[in-house]
Amino acid sequence: MKTTLEQLLAAELSAGNAPLKDAMADAEANTIADFIQKSPKALSFIKEQALEICIEAVRQHKDALQFVSEQNVKHIPVFLRLEAAESPNVSHKTLDMLTKDESEAVRMKAASNPQASSTMLEKLGQDKALGVRWRVAENLNTPPALLNELAKDENISIQARVAQNPNTPSDTLALLAKGSSDIVCMVVAENPNTSPKVLAALVSSQDKMVSSVASRAVKAKIPNKIGNVDITPEQRQALQEGKSVTLSGLVDKAGNVHNTVHVAFDKEANKIKLLQERSTPKSKQNQATAREKRPQKQARKGGMTM
């Protein structure tokens, strides 16, 4: 019978492994089996890491990958590495390790992960694989300086994704509008960070499609603020895609504060529209409370109350 992770940890515990006892106490685990289920650190207490033991640990916890020896990491089934690379809850250490994975598919997943740091993305932005650089250009965590570098990539697909990223600065968009293909120019026109000067130049483009898209963009410019509420890049992108977003603390013209408001951008009407409101404005709540407290007056005639 093959030795399992549980058997090896039980042997370590019997041998009086103090760090293992402390780790089990920290994880509030009463048994070895419970500890394996709760903690990815279980594998770190095994000196001789046979491949089947490593696979067993990673099946239990994606973050156990960080404790797998270098010679065994590449032999962990790729589907487990892919699952770890795309997990939004993966640890920084595990994700950083996966940015160096020999599988292009794993590195692509790591480049798309919302937990990827600027340092990881800068490293992946220099990857030889087109698909990896493509995902970096799309990631909302990619810093403006790196987006500027990716804008110089010879591949049109990467240029287009840089042009689409809501974090791409206006000067980078201006650079793309000058020396890129018509397809990239159309994407530049739709980015809310594109300056009025660049939009005006695109409106005058000889390409009818570019001119048409830029003309619509001039009319359909989504504001940086809706009322008193700042619009985030994620909210702006959602509005451009025709999706609704939720705003909190919006103050209307009458001075009412709305706790939760759903809005969307009406492209035909070229304006932000209110979809629904889940809570009553505070001023109306106060008025309702005042009405409840107001004493009822007796009518002069009859016994009816007003």
The phi, psi pair for 245, rounded to 5°, reads: -130, 160
- C-beta of residue 257 within 8 angstroms of C-beta of residue 250: yes
Pairing of strands 257-258, 225-226: unpaired
What confidence score (pLDDT) does residue 6 get? 86
What confidence score (pLDDT) does residue 275 get? 83
Please list, in sequence order, all residues whose beta carbon lies within 8 angstroms of the beta carbon of residue 249, skipping any fewer than 6 positions away. 228, 229, 257, 258, 259
What confidence score (pLDDT) does residue 215 get? 81
Direct distance between the N- and C-terminal alpha carbons of the chain, in angstroms, rounded to an integer: 86
Sign (positive/negative) of CA torsion 40, 46, 52, 54? positive
What confidence score (pLDDT) does residue 305 get? 34
- C-beta of residue 86 within 8 angstroms of C-beta of residue 58: no
For the chain, domain boundaries: 143-221, 223-297
What global pTM score does this model have?
Answer: 0.64
What confidence score (pLDDT) does residue 301 get? 44
What confidence score (pLDDT) does residue 268 get? 59
Q: Walk along the chain (306 residues) and give the pLDDT tens digit of each residue.
A: 456 888 888 888 888 888 888 888 988 888 888 888 888 888 888 877 788 888 888 888 888 888 887 778 888 999 999 999 999 989 999 999 999 999 999 999 999 999 999 999 999 999 999 999 999 999 999 999 999 999 999 999 999 999 999 999 999 999 999 876 899 999 999 998 998 889 889 988 888 999 888 888 776 667 778 888 888 878 877 887 778 889 888 888 888 888 888 888 776 565 788 886 554 455 555 555 555 555 554 444 443 333
What confidence score (pLDDT) does residue 295 get? 54
* 138, burial (CB in 10 Å: exposed 0-12, middle 13-18, buried 19+): middle
DSSP letters spanning 36-102: HHH-GGGGGG-SS--HHHHHHHHHH-GGGGGGS-HHHHTTS-HHHHHHHHH-TT--HHHHHHHTT-S
What confidence score (pLDDT) does residue 121 get? 97
15: left (phi over 0), alpha (psi -120 to 50) or beta: alpha
E runs forming strands in 113-236: 225-226, 229-230
Please state, in angstroms and rounded to a whole number, the distance separating the CA atoms of residues 206 and 117: 41
